[in-house]
Amino acid sequence: MYHRVHRYATERTKSLPGLTVEPGRFAAQMGALRGTGYRSITIAQLFGALFRGAALPAKPVLVTVDDGYVDDVTQILPVLRADDMTAAFYVITGRLHEAGFLDPAQVRELDASGMDVGAHTRDHVDLPGLGAARLQDEIAGSREDLERLLHHPIASFAYPAGRYDAQTIAAVRRAGFALAMTTNPGLESSSLHPFELPRVRVGRAMTPGGLVACVAGRGC
């Protein structure tokens, strides 16, 4: 789970330092994964493995990127293309015209490049405790926004800040999503909990070797 890949010193709007990975470090991390036999998978492959028994590569890894910063196309996409990898990008649809975030053409570029595009609400609000109408607008509305833009179904969702409850999960299911990503730490996805999938947070301090050890289950 990534957020920003950018030189922190030159960010126009400062993010949390721990969530910004330097571009050279990100490229080295992807190279380390490829070099140790890991192969990136798509949301469709993950769904197929969980619910249809489909085979995955021997060492599968799902790379995810939250929030929809412009870094997705300026920094992350070139590295993924060079390493023949894919990722799932979770986009805040209400920010598609804000400076520093993806615009509609860039979201289409990610999609056309074979990347997964998922929903991350319209406004990146705290979902637990919202009224039913607002909850539907944020969750189902963000899916509708992306489907109008990309002209195909959007299969996965990521909870803003990893915050969710039973009502949130029910709304995600009703909206038609197949899977949802949390920020809960963990390496194993389960068909028993498709709307509570764990991830590994990749922060500024994680080295390429540390990331490989982490996804191998040797400690993060």
Flag whether 148 is in a domain: yes
Flag whether 76 is in a domain: yes
pLDDT, tens digit (0-9, with 9 covering 90-100), for 119-153: 999 999 999 999 999 999 999 999 999 999 999 99
pLDDT, tens digit (0-9, with 9 covering 90-100), for 30-43: 999 999 999 999 99
CATH number (domain holding residue 8): 3.20.20.370
Contacts of 124 (CB under 8 A, 6+ apart): 67, 92, 94, 95, 160
pTM: 0.96
**Is 140 within 8 Å of 168 (Cβ atoms)?**
no
Flag whether 13 is in a domain: yes
Q: Shortest CA distance to 88 belongs to which of 137, 44, 48, 152?
A: 44
Band (pLDDT 50/70/90 cuts) for residue 13 is low
Flag whether 220 is in a domain: no
Flag whether 166 is in a domain: yes
Flag whether 154 is in a domain: yes
pLDDT, tens digit (0-9, with 9 covering 90-100), for 156-165: 999 999 999 9
Flag whether 165 is in a domain: yes
Domain extent, residue 180, equals 4-215
Flag whether 61 is in a domain: yes
For the chain, what is the domain count?
1
